[in-house]
Amino acid sequence: MAVKAVAKNISISPKKMRRVLKVVRGQKVEEALKILGFLLTPAAKEVAKVVHSAASNAENNNMMSQSDLRIVAIHADPGVTLHRSRARSRGRSSRILKRTSHITVLVDEEGGA
């Protein structure tokens, strides 16, 4: 049975987040946390928090061993977009989009169906 953890409204765009998610998709949880520890992007820190949360949920709620857990699915969806404006020439303004994302992680045991 897969266990899920979700982090919402993270102030990093989903496009930047997906680059980090590709690296850890399908990895074992322990290995994924090691990889995320060496990545320098701020997105890696946020992804590591959610992966650790999903592993803790599986360990505490479903009595699964953390060493047997594997990331089954991980994805970043767009969240709320904040609209800001910046002054431009000739009295005009341009739009600034501050994008956020929601991260979802599903973990399951290695031999689990």
User: pTM of the predicted model, to two decimals?
Assistant: 0.90
4-20 mean pLDDT? 97
Cβ proximity of 34 and 15 under 8 Å: no
- Percentage of the chain beyond pLDDT 90 is 94
53-76 mean pLDDT? 94
Q: Taking 80 as the threshold, does the pLDDT of residue 105 lie above it?
A: yes
Length of the chain: 113
Q: What pLDDT, on the 0 to 100 scale, is given for residue 75?
A: 97
Longest dimension (CA), the chain: 64
19-37 mean pLDDT? 96
Q: What pLDDT, on the 0 to 100 scale, is given for residue 1?
A: 86
Residue type, 52: H
Q: Taking 70 as the threshold, does the pLDDT of residue 112 lie above it?
A: no
Q: Taking 80 as the threshold, does the pLDDT of residue 27 lie above it?
A: yes
Q: What pLDDT, on the 0 to 100 scale, is given for residue 53?
A: 97
Domains and CATH numbers, the chain: 3-109 (3.90.470.10)
